A and B are shown apart, each in its own frame.
Chain A
Amino acid sequence: MQDSCRVLFLPDNRYVMVPKGENLLKAAMDADVHVNASCGGSGSCGKCRVLVEEGEVEREPNPKLSEEEISQGYALACQTSVLSDLRVSIPIESRIGDRRIFERKEPEPAHGHLLSAADWEKRLPHWELNPSTRKIHLVLAEPTLDDNVSDAERVKRGLAVETGLRDVIIDYPVLQRLPNMLRQSDWDITVTVLDSGEELRAVRIEQGDTSGRQSAIAIDVGTTTISAELIDLQTGEVTARASDYNAQVAFGEDVITRIIYATRGTGLAKLQSVVVGTIWNLIKSLVEQAGIEYCDITHLVVSGNTTMTHLLLGLNPRYIREEPYIPSATFFPWIKCSDLGLRIAAGVYLYAVPCVASYVGGDIVAGMLASGIFNADKLTLYIDIGTNGEMVLGNREWMLSCSCSAGPAFEGGGVKHGMRATRGAIEQVRINKVNYEPMIITVGHRRPIGICGSGLIDALSEMFLTGIVNEKGKINTELPTDRVRATEGGAEYVLVRAEDSATRRDIVITEVDIDNLMRAKAAVYAGIEILLSSVDMDVSMIDELLIAGAFGRYLEVDKAVTIGLLPDIGYEKMKFVGNGSLLGAHLAALSKDMLNKAKDIAHQMTYLELSMNPAFMEHYLSALFFPHTNLEAFPSVRERLESYRNEQRLAGEAAVGGEVG
């Protein structure tokens, strides 16, 4: 059986390992092999013709390719899947203008920039499936004249005898139902007990034995996206997953505009009901997918940034925004879901993962929990990049966090043709270092509409390496290509020509876009440096860099390092966490110990307010440069720049030689 295939590209003589079924253009992208591709992989431009010399592929039928060509082995890379080990040669017309003479060398593996999530089991201390709610089946003795304690006392006595749980408080609604329920069920009941850490509370009573059916839901309440998981508490397995846009997006894309909305009139109530609506739809979807009953759900754990947590709980977020930036609360009690308007079943409680400060929230605390930093000896830097760049530095001994405002550039905002990472968004870019022609792949392999955050970082990194953009973010309009051009608003680079785009307009990257991205990356990098310098450390001391958040998944680490967004500490030290917030909520839903750990983490973490830090501006200014004013801190980028310049020089000489000869 063959799950991964080796694809060798000629004449580059470079190979890459890809999963079977992988798109051939994507494989070329991963191998850093240039193939002309201007339609984003939609099969409409026909420029990515390659010759499959050996191996098996599957071609989507495409009018750009004749029967005869297919019989000769030609394929459109973007319309072709890899089925076996391949030898693919890239014909001259797919690499126009590239007159490099390649040295013959052994095939070399392209470095794998996709880092898989590590095995979390290894990172966490031993923990048991021991959730905060527990269903206890009781068969109580019927009362008699001799044994005439009240119904409530009888249940409590039953719990104590059966499980050793003492001093259980019986929730008022349970108390109301108790007498009839006990008698209807013939004294055979199941009691759900919530251990809030401070008290034991019987939150639900059901007829008969339902203790085998118990689920919890973990929810990551993101500013943009909400993701939820249904977890079977008997097995600890995830039985369903769902996610959707946070419907609050309609009221503002970032936390600040939502805070402003919430402080006006009935804005807070509106935002709360909207987010509850989104969550309710997700819960419905989970229940339907898993085929369970609503009453099987016994508790919810949610994690979100401080503002999202406030809005979900209906807490006034106003003072988060105003100096000195004070949240209503950072630790939250167990709250009855019905109090929030979430009517799942009787007695379902919700726990919100605690926050640290106004701009370091439960999502980060959950991420700390899931990534096991609280249990690590290694010095770890955890970064969640979005509109706000939140980061934590630390290990089992200490944790230091900060948040810096990166602006919306990483999410495609404030960029001329920026967009979210949805269909038609350019997410990967390579640019030929000799003729400056781009190779692009879009989300869903559609004709390109715009460019998303990861695509921007890719594009910018390539533009910098190829010399289209200089260290200051200025475009070199003297290059011999019509893809760079000066306009009244500054220079720009044409990434997609009008005829290849879905919008029938050129998709460009402007100097203004570059400037916005430069500011965003400088803010994040300055944050990293402040964290490190405030404990008298530097980037070389980081043992591990964890990248979290939805953005992180699509990010190509080497590109992010090239523009100086992330420190140049070697790719082997960098790992993606994925949705750390959801993973943390998941753990807290499964285990009281983990939930308590989250509290400890929130208590333990020190928050550094950057707006108070006099050194921030200095670090920020020195980061307003590609990759950084201190180029010594980016040795791998320096190396790549040198090799790009050398190859460009060789190609230039070869071109001149060719003309003479």
Chain B
Amino acid sequence: MARIVVDPITRIEGHLRIEAEVDGGRIVRAYSSCTMWRGVERILIGRDPRDAWAFAQRICGVCTTVHAYASIRAVEDALGIDVPPLAQAFRNLMIATQNVHDHVMHFYHLHALDWVNVPNALKADPKQTADLAHAISDWPNSSEAYFRDVQSKLKKFVESGQLGIFDNAYWDHPAYKLPPEADLLAVAHYLEALDWQRRVIRILTFLGGKDPHPNFLVGGVPLSVNLASPSVVNAEVLSMIKTHIDELKTFVEKVYIPDLLAIAGFYKEWAQWGAGVGNYLAYGELPDGKTNQVDRLYLPRGAILGRDLRTVHDVDPKDPEQVQESVAHSYYRYGRGDDVLLHPFEGETEPHYTGPKPPYEYLNVESKYSWLKAPRWRGHSMEVGPLARMLVAYAKGKPYVKAKVDYVLQKLDAPLTALFSTLGRTAARAIEAWVMAEYLPQVYDRIISLIRMGDTTTFNALKWDPETWPREAKGFGYMEAPRGALGHWVTIRDGKIAHYQCVVPSTWNGGPRDAAGQPGPYEAALEGTPIQNPEAPLELLRTVHSFDPCMACAAHIYDAQGREIVRVRVQ
């Protein structure tokens, strides 16, 4: 039995460490540990609830926007604020844009290098690369001369001897299986995607002022629409947004999806590994009506247990019996003992580091070993993310999801059960980007038609003034972040935040074991993953990256109304 440690897990957001026991060429047990913590929720206590989105947003700069939305929705839910239809449409436009942007960057810049061998692209024949490109797509950047130029650029870079971000990776690993031509195609698209993303993200800049970290507003959106003003959102801005939507959609259809299919075709054995817990949770996203009209979510809400797609369970995040958290293996301490599970509205935490003194070699995995809590839904360890969303939508028969899932499976000649895997998770992300890319022109048209009808209100001022608020109010805000179901639970008292808690996608996926010893989804998915060479655990990276970890999001403190604040000061 060998024990391998990968820390830092790179090409993710944040600080993740995996320790795994390998026996007979396979991982038999894995431990997922988040190694950074800031205490954002504690910082939120006593603040103006209308400011909370800005603090919460900084939980993550990769899926920037998502915590802002969850926060705003939680505050609006608590105070009973409805947002105007045009504001809801602008929000949906931004959510879908951010989702596609994030998925494309994950595929090309964070995940691709697990499958694509960069130095191997130097061996490619540019003519054959062009043939391959033509065979899978009519994307225009596909001439032999184009690939020859990319290759010579790469050659010059490699010959400089300064490999920078490509240095010291597992390039000699036999698990890399693409022919050099596919490697070259993917390297070209790595660079194209890097350029594409900085243009299409401008949709968020036009509407939010900058990206990362655009601006939002409780009660609507901060922008105003006035076709007669050069200073606010007008026809010019709207037409630039449309240009970027087209560019975004074209890239997904002509580059991302064809590349996913081409690369997956060489790695079909990865449909048998990495399944994990087999339970899936989605809060749903893109409200067509009011924020909390659950039956009008474009991507539906629901839970699937034990890979049984025949039954989608109803989910109520406010029900104290449903979403709960354990700290048995987390660096926190519950007043009522570490074996209880607590709902976020009652969340109670005291940081309690019992790990080894740095610098250290190994974690003490029998005890506490992560800054993440272990969230559970009705006691089950649940996977969240694009796969969960696509499965829930598929099981609920949403035709715009079902058609695309079926198309991808048919192209890969794979059964539906292939989705329960590392490969399935990566494919589901691409499918979702495709669904979102087709949704974007629809929501854009809705924006235009609302403006045409003269419905240009973007802000509901009725409850802006704290004088209009009840003495105490509680609210829940959902959000389907690119990485999965995100929830914020807020309690407002006397105009200030009294209690705040986030349960975050990468906490669901990357959390440690609970009091009953049930592993989290990363840990479960890694079990059974083959490891050819424990010195170069490329396969481990493939499965972990298929979840798209985001650790800054995941590590939190949960305030317990005063008592813990005092304790923390004492420390």
- A and B physically associate: no
